[in-house]
Amino acid sequence: MTQLRATTDNAADVVSDALIVMIHTPDNAKSPKVLAAKETMSGPIVAEILASFAAVANGDTKSVRITCQSVAAKSVVVCPVTDPTDTEKVRRTIGAAVRGLNEVASVSVVPPSQAPPILRAICEGALLGVYRFTNYKSGKHTPIAKVSVLVTAAAAKTARVAVKEARALIDGVNLTRDLVNTPPNDLSPQALVEVAQAVFDDRKVGVKVWSDRTLRRDGFGGLTAVGQGSVNGPRLVRLRYRHPKAKVHIALVGKGITFDSGGLSLKPPKSMEWMKSDMAGSAAVLATLRVVHDWGLPINVTGWLAAAENMPSATAQRPGDIITINGGKTVEVLNTDAEGRLVLADALVEAAKDNPDEIIDIATLTGAQLVALGALMAGAMGNNDQLREAIVAAGTAAGESLWPMPLPPELRASLDSPIADLANIGDRNGGMLTAALFLNEFVPAEIPWSHLDIAGPSFNEAGASGYIPKGGTGFGVRTLSEYLRQRSQ
């Protein structure tokens, strides 16, 4: 694990492989300004860095690596930033700079400001950028072992808090990335259960597990039907965090399809290549519970992981089957590739039995989300506009993009079935919205509920950018953690 610390050392004295310094270019690249407190970086160092940057940048505004004789660091990475007061821009700039460093053991960062939000963004961005998934790579891989953030004596106490909070948060994000990146032959529903048990073994979070046998016995028809085609049976996991000063109880529900072949409604081969990521919702819920615990938030949170593997076989559910969801509603299965909503329905019904103040589900639910909002922005829907808007705002504050979407009542009729209470697919147009309308059928109207469709932003098929690596992104953990932090106040 990369060590993150705040230090009051001067930039001239810090021994590291790389020193990251931000510059602000308010007019153009010809008039940059080094952003640093005088206590962390002296005038002569600033002058040398600017001169070296000007000599190699040639008007470019990308990060460049230079040498600087005035500092003990082996090299200096100069990072232009357009707005040094924007936490997300600072987070991305630092994350990209750290991600671009290879074969270095230690990094020092000069913050552009000593303001608490900026210090927090620096810590988060650095830890996000450090991430590498090398579990299945042969050969030697040397991760960055230490990141030091240079602060003034006056800001030292604030910086220590930022380090602690960022550490807990980004460890959660990176846990989610690890789980999403783990191949499905190593992450079955039971393996996900074991990860949850290991994570909370030394934390005060209760873990309860329903096996495939107990799910069938207790009437969880969605999980049972989706999982019955696989040799790896389905699981439902309840994670329970309680705080003695809590005044609010929030339920989080995550879709956990550890691999989605589409079932008998088989996906094309190319579409299956990244279906190990179909459990990103459950991974985000698991990680958020860990963040909430490690932050010690005065709030009660119950997490639900609805885990199954959707496979074709002689025992798989068929198009045309009618299943009974937890609670008694019947569903005609017209497409076995619309399986996530079936396992979520079971979990939503169970979550509502605790009568929480709010329910939030998070899921890689529809390809229609990608069509509507692209690969970087999640859709937020639900039965309560105030809750939906608050979650979108929490995402903005945390550095994740969500967009509020409606639940048009006129689309509900497309889910009608002539022989069951409803069908599992509706109108192809507005597929993200009809999927949410399906879920809405399993949430009591009196409980505020929001549904987050993260199909696009949970997995990056393109090249790495900013602090976002290729593969699992950990999307949702920061939004949910920030929202819960706000609700606990």
Active site positions, annotated: 267, 341
Of 351, 394, 380, nearest to 454 (Cα)? 380
75-113 burial, b at 16+ Cβ within 10 Å, e below that, comes to: bbbbbbbeebeebbbbbbbbbbbbbebeebebbbbbbbb
Residue type, 151: V
Question: Is the CB of residue 360 less than 8 Å from the CB of residue 250?
Answer: yes
Q: Alpha-carbon distance 51 to 57, whole Å?
A: 10
Reported in sequence order, the residue ranges of 218-339 that DSSP labels E, i.e. its strands, are 235-241, 249-260, 300-310, 322-324, 330-332
Q: For residue 205, what are the β-bridge partners?
A: 241
- H helices of 263-384, in order, are 269-272, 280-295, 340-352, 367-373
Question: Is the CB of residue 458 less than 8 Å from the CB of residue 434?
Answer: no
Question: Is the CB of residue 114 less than 8 Å from the CB of residue 84?
Answer: no
Non-local (6+) Cβ contacts of 247 within 8 A are 298, 299
Complete DSSP assignment for 153-179: GGGHHHHHHHHHHHHHHHHHHHHHHHH
Q: Alpha-carbon distance 489 to 476, whole Å?
A: 20
What are the φ/ψ torsions at residue 316 (nearest 5 degrees)?
A: -70, 155
CB atoms within 10 A of CB 117: 14
Non-local (6+) Cβ contacts of 264 within 8 A are 229, 312, 316, 317, 318, 319, 336
Question: Is the CB of residue 269 less than 8 Å from the CB of residue 223?
Answer: no
Q: Alpha-carbon distance 319 to 336, whole Å?
A: 6
